[in-house]
Amino acid sequence: MSLRLPTPAFLTLQNLASQCAVCHSWPARRICAACVARFGQPAMRCTTCAIRLASGQAQCAACVGKPPPLDACFAAVTYAYPWSTLMAVYKFGQDPAWAAVFAGLLLRTPSLAALLAALQSGDWLLPMPLSPERLQARGFNQSWELAKALAGQSGTCARPDARLLLRIRNTPPQSQLKREARLQNVRGAFVVDPLRAAELRGRQVLLVDDVMTSGATLFAAAQALRDAGAAGVSGLVVARTE
């Protein structure tokens, strides 16, 4: 049995569990309670796309004008320091153990506990799938690790599954595209496994992802689930851009 060492670029003290990755205090978890309190305060967000809103609003103008295929959407934090840096370490630093940290952050999201409690044993907790090419290059699906950690920490009755929703096209990264190009880029990129579609019909689905920017990818996946017969689809992301 060989010992797999961490990637040298990320072999730093801030990635050890005994030191906070943000303020570097000792001893601490990967993120200490003080940094979570400072940088992870919940914000008022649109109920269907999770963009930050002014107090008193329920939905943004874009969702009012064109409702997305989501019944609800939740985001734990804004995609900014320190979360943007830590998310990069998680996704590209070959450190899936961060999933447990981010799952704990997700569980602090207002109203999410009620949704998780309402999910039944036949409902689904689905990660955003990666294409086979992207999965091979990265080595793991960060959304799948999040879904598993969330299921374990929340005790939800919904089942996590990485093969019910499939990505059938390897598309260019959304970060390289503008909004309209993003929508076109992911159109038709997701399908439900046709041999398992019956498992989805009439069920509730919670889609889990790491970062949401325009919402194009999440919306395309949600539409594929609705087209396959899902009774309701909600989205959950760790970080949402402004």
pLDDT at 134: 86
* pLDDT tens string 171-180: 666 556 565 5
* pLDDT tens string 176-200: 656 556 656 677 789 999 999 999 9
pLDDT at 177: 56
Question: What phi-psi label fits residue 45: left (phi over 0), alpha (psi between -120 and 50 degrees) or beta?
Answer: beta
Name which of 61-65, 163-167, 182-186 the model is least confident about.
182-186
**In this model, does residue 1 exceed pLDDT 70?**
no
| 182 or 214, higher pLDDT | 214
Structural domains for the chain: 13-41 (no CATH), 43-240 (3.40.50)
Please give the sequence-ordered ranges of beta strands (E in DSSP) within 26-121, or none if there are none. 72-78
Phi first, then psi: give them for residue 221, nearest 5 degrees.
-70, -40
Question: What phi-psi label fits residue 22: left (phi over 0), alpha (psi between -120 and 50 degrees) or beta?
Answer: alpha
